[in-house]
Chains A and B, each alone.
Chain A
């Protein structure tokens, strides 16, 4: 239990606070509209459907404010930088920004459903009221016209016998904007389903821009001031007395005609701040898009991997960060994330791009047709954006696990370590690194094996063999591998990678690995970093919790996951 607190405590706390605010808003505004005397006559027409519509509206205001913030990645990078004082756990929360965005989106969807259903009831009951189906008081209230000469203000937005609920909705600002933004929300949600997002990202990305329609409609949704409350008149209109004297309204001194006015629209006050912040975010991305980027070197690696070494003035990076690349010649609007494989100590930054889909395929083809030594196609770079890997040097002991393509950020980390050690950088708190490389096959990662070879040689020359312990696991082995290994077993270097460290076959036994790390580092804080599939993340997270001890004299494991 205590281990769970260390690893998950702050996230759980934030969720509890968020949910608490939601519940508070819902209950507060429900009671405000259910008990407030200024809505007594409105409730006469609508019953409890009024508070059932207004309470989710308040929750929606709050969540629509929140939803834009987790996707401002530049803002988050800024926060990460300024949280250096506040500890790892705070910064780890920023890794979970997309999870929070989805959670807030689900809440918006749920509240929209409640709000819409309540308003369906409202529209129907307003119409029925006007047509006299709810008794004399309701009819009298509905008949109050909107006339300056007669000094009356209306309560019921339905003003004529021929208005049906459908007409009411489509001829009021609130109704029309409501339908439009709900439709936008539904389209956004269906195109964000995991199936669509993982396989057809463009559909998700372009449809998601309907949020512009959503927010525009949301801001104007209350402009019609259709929710009306009773105003204090002079002399005051005593509701409980005048309910039973409908004929005397406007005739006696006790019962002047009640006056109503619409509520001031408030949604814009909630969302204007985040909208401006998001606008700045997109502006920043655009400015970065316009900055010139030149190619220092272009290398085509084996197995269709493209290495680009780029130079951009004023560009500063940290280890394991990623950038978004945009190539206008391929697609004007697509930005694709790539982890940088160079170290901050170098005067350029590099990315290794593998042929995975349309965009990468076109890029590689374009580059293959370049003349020798020519500049590549115009490229725009946005970033760098922070990931958990920035924290890797803060831990005394680090366990780095790279699965498949996830090994890429660790190229940057290992190179940076190499540079820091050569320069004896005092910022390097790390004393020991365990690196686990899991891949099905080494196809497309020969460049990484090269890097490890160079590091291996260098570490040996400096007598630092203990600093970096790396283990390679080939999970896609078959009988031919076994035969090959058996035959060459006594060669000094590994047959697959050419490294001194032999490749193991199959998946690692994490219990054994964690035990080994625990034994070799009895009282350290160990940071575990993973870039790989979700299933592995769950596994490692469990092991971190299992092998951590609250006792400060014993080993503690913290789990960090990269996500894109």
Chain B
């Protein structure tokens, strides 16, 4: 498994886990299950995880593909600096968030999925990965150099000599060399 960037898989897993956590929470609250308070926490935690994980990180190698409309999320997540950039923090955060889910059946699946995501993030952090925002590149507009204002110093480039045809009999009076034949019938 040569060039694995674990964070990419951890990201997919945690996004799915967030959705499952939130869905389990909704079922628990709507069905008024015993322990619905844990379900309510599950909804909040699930939504938070989804928002945090939605913006994809820039890949270390290769082209990064953004998720649709992730730019505003990228900006928000980026604003937290090292808290969100570091994957150790994320791994610990997910581990902490998943624990309350284990106390109620509806959220137990979300708990386990988030726990697995936390482990994958831990692996990513150990491998030295970190989150990079995908920001649009602003290229400086192409500047025309100042030298365009001066007259040219060199004559325009000419094709190599073997393609220049000289009419042998008119060598002295020729004003210029024809690099290519200019008559139709030749």
A165 to B27, CA, bound (A): 14
Q: Which of A190-198, A264-272, A289-297, A408-416 contacts B (4 or more CB under 8 A)?
A: A190-198
B40 at the interface (CB under 8 A from A): no
Which B residues lie within 8 Å of A206 (CB)?
1
Which B residues lie within 8 Å of A169 (CB)?
105, 108
**Residue on A nearest B63 in the bound complex, by CB:** A199
B104 adjacent to A166 (CB under 8 Å): yes
How big is chain B's contact interface, by range?
20 to 34
Q: Mark A106-125, 1 if CB is under 8 A from B, else 0.
A: 00000001001100110110
A124 to B29, CA, bound (A): 12
> Could you say which of B12, B34, B109 contacts A195, with CB atoms under 8 Å apart?
B12
B182 at the interface (CB under 8 A from A): no
A206 to B5, CA, bound (A): 15
B33 at the interface (CB under 8 A from A): yes
B105 adjacent to A187 (CB under 8 Å): no
B108 adjacent to A166 (CB under 8 Å): yes
Most buried by B among A120, A169, A203, A486: A120
B62 at the interface (CB under 8 A from A): yes
> Could you say which of B5, B34, B109 contacts A183, with CB atoms under 8 Å apart?
B109
B13 at the interface (CB under 8 A from A): yes
Given known A186-B16, A187-B13, contact A120–B1 (CB-CB < 8 A): no
A189 adjacent to B62 (CB under 8 Å): no
Given known A187-B116, A200-B1, contact A195–B65 (CB-CB < 8 A): yes
- CB within 8 Å of B: which of A173-205? 179, 182-183, 186-187, 189-191, 193, 195-196, 199-200, 202-203
A193 to B12, CA, bound (A): 8
B118 at the interface (CB under 8 A from A): no
A460 at the interface (CB under 8 A from B): no
B69 at the interface (CB under 8 A from A): no
**Residue on B nearest A166 in the bound complex, by CB:** B105
B105 adjacent to A191 (CB under 8 Å): no
A520 at the interface (CB under 8 A from B): no
Which B residues lie within 8 Å of A487 (CB)?
159-160, 163
Measured CB to CB, the closest approach of chain B to A459, in angstroms, equals 31
**Residue on B nearest A204 in the bound complex, by CB:** B9
Measured CB to CB, the closest approach of chain B to A192, in angstroms, equals 9
Does more than half of chain A's interface fall in helix, strand or loop, or is it mixed? helix
A117 adjacent to B105 (CB under 8 Å): no
**Residue on A nearest B24 in the bound complex, by CB:** A120
Measured CB to CB, the closest approach of chain B to A362, in angstroms, equals 9
Most buried by B among A179, A191, A193: A193
A303 at the interface (CB under 8 A from B): no
A235 at the interface (CB under 8 A from B): no
A245 at the interface (CB under 8 A from B): no
Which A residues lie within 8 Å of B24 (CB)?
120
Q: Mark B128-156, 1 if CB is under 8 A from A, else 0.
A: 00000000000000000000000000000
Chain B residues near A (Cβ < 8 Å): 1-5, 8-9, 12-13, 16-17, 20, 23-24, 27-28, 31, 33-34, 56, 59, 62, 65, 104-106, 108-109, 112-113, 116, 159-160, 163
Sampled A-B contacts (21; CB under 8 Å): A117-B27, A124-B33, A164-B34, A169-B105, A179-B108, A183-B109, A186-B16, A186-B20, A186-B113, A187-B116, A190-B9, A196-B8, A196-B9, A196-B12, A199-B59, A200-B3, A200-B9, A202-B4, A206-B1, A358-B3, A487-B159
